[in-house]
């Protein structure tokens, strides 16, 4: 509990002080990033996760207000990203998973096309695919459990509904990560987007829940809107599912 409180205090300082927190950014980052996988307390992991964007923003703001040298910002991101993606792969708390995905698209948006490298984009896309695969596996297991239990009671139904609500939040954050990338890179993101099409393909199936189909439409919408025509030739297979949705 004390560790969680301390981490939350650091998060609050970084958030409220902004650039003023810069002198402490490197030390605090090296303290908090390893705690992304702190398995003994969800509050510690959550506070460490929430701190990523404020810390990166403080470094970015300092660079912008001084010599515009982004070398430290990039080195900070290169330290954060692998740890964040590794923690995301193992996280079993849906709320914290949502927060990790949120930090991913917030940091990517802050850095923009000038500071995100092709390696960064590939790593983010792989993480999104992995998160969606895990989402699908949990969904299938949940459906199978409900179908196999002929004596499911009201309490179990309520529990399943709560799980579905948490999963919807995860799916929404996955879509936000995907959607931020064409906004940042425009048509240059289209080759990477083609690797992610299995996600809207699955979500737009007529048997999926309305929320899933809505998210699938949002993903396609972002790819079309910000690709400046480079995605149009890949749009035809989605016309019928979009109409049916």
Question: pLDDT tier at 1 (50, 70, 90 boundaries)?
Answer: confident
Lowest mean pLDDT among 12-21, 56-65, 157-166: 157-166
Cα separation of 35 and 24, whole Å? 17
pLDDT at 236: 77
Provide the token pair at 35.
């705690």
Nearest to 80 by CA among 110, 64, 104, 97: 104
Q: How far is CA 75 from CA 36, 116, 206, in A?
A: 18, 11, 45
Handedness of CA 198, 176, 80, 59 (dihedral sign): positive
pLDDT at 232: 80
Which are the contacts of 23, defined by CB distance < 8 A and separation ≥ 6? none
What is the value of pTM for the model shown?
0.92
pLDDT digits (tens, 9 = 90+) for 58-111: 999 999 999 888 999 999 999 999 999 999 999 999 999 999 999 999 999 999
Question: pLDDT tier at 144 (50, 70, 90 boundaries)?
Answer: confident
**Better-predicted residue by pLDDT, 125 or 152:** 125
Which are the contacts of 75, defined by CB distance < 8 A and separation ≥ 6? none
Q: Which residue has the tokens 């509990």?
A: 1
Helix (H), strand (E) counts: the chain: 12, 0
pLDDT at 237: 76
pLDDT digits (tens, 9 = 90+) for 28-70: 999 999 999 999 999 999 999 999 999 999 999 999 999 888 9
Nearest to 94 by CA among 135, 141, 35, 39: 135
The DSSP call for residue 224 is: H
pLDDT at 155: 73
Provide the token pair at 123.
């790593």
> What mean pLDDT comes out for the span 185-203?
93
pLDDT at 149: 64
CB–CB of 87/38 below 8 Å?
Answer: no
Q: Does position 143 have pLDDT exceeding 90, yes or no? A: no
pLDDT at 148: 64
pLDDT digits (tens, 9 = 90+) for 118-141: 999 999 999 999 999 999 999 888
> What integer best gives the mean pLDDT of the chain?
92
| Residues in the chain, total | 245
């Amino acid at each position: 509990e004390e560790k969680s409180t301390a981490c939350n205090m650091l998060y609050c300082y970084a958030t409220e002080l902004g650039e003023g927190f810069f002198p402490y950014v490197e030390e605090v980052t090296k303290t908090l990033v390893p705690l992304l996988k702190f398995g003994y307390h969800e509050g510690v992991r959550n506070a460490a996760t929430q701190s990523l964007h404020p810390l990166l923003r403080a470094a970015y703001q300092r660079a912008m207000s001084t010599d515009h040298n982004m070398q430290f910002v990039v080195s900070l991101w290169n330290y954060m990203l692998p740890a964040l993606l590794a923690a995301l792969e193992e996280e079993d708390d849906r709320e914290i998973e949502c927060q990790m995905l949120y930090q991913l698209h917030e940091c990517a948006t802050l850095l923009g096309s000038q500071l995100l490298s092709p390696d960064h984009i590939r790593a983010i896309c792989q993480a999104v695919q992995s998160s969606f695969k895990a989402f699908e596996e949990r969904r299938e297991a949940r459906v199978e459990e409900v179908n196999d239990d002929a004596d499911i009671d009201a309490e179990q139904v309520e529990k399943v509904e709560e799980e579905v609500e948490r999963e919807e939040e995860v799916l929404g954050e996955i879509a936000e990560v995907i959607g931020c990338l064409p906004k940042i890179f425009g048509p240059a993101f289209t080759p990477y987007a083609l690797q992610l099409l299995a996600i809207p393909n699955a979500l737009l199936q007529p048997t999926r829940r309305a929320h899933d189909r809505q998210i699938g439409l949002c993903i396609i919408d972002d790819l079309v809107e910000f690709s400046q025509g480079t995605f149009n030739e890949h749009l035809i297979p989605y016309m019928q599912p979009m109409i049916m949705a």
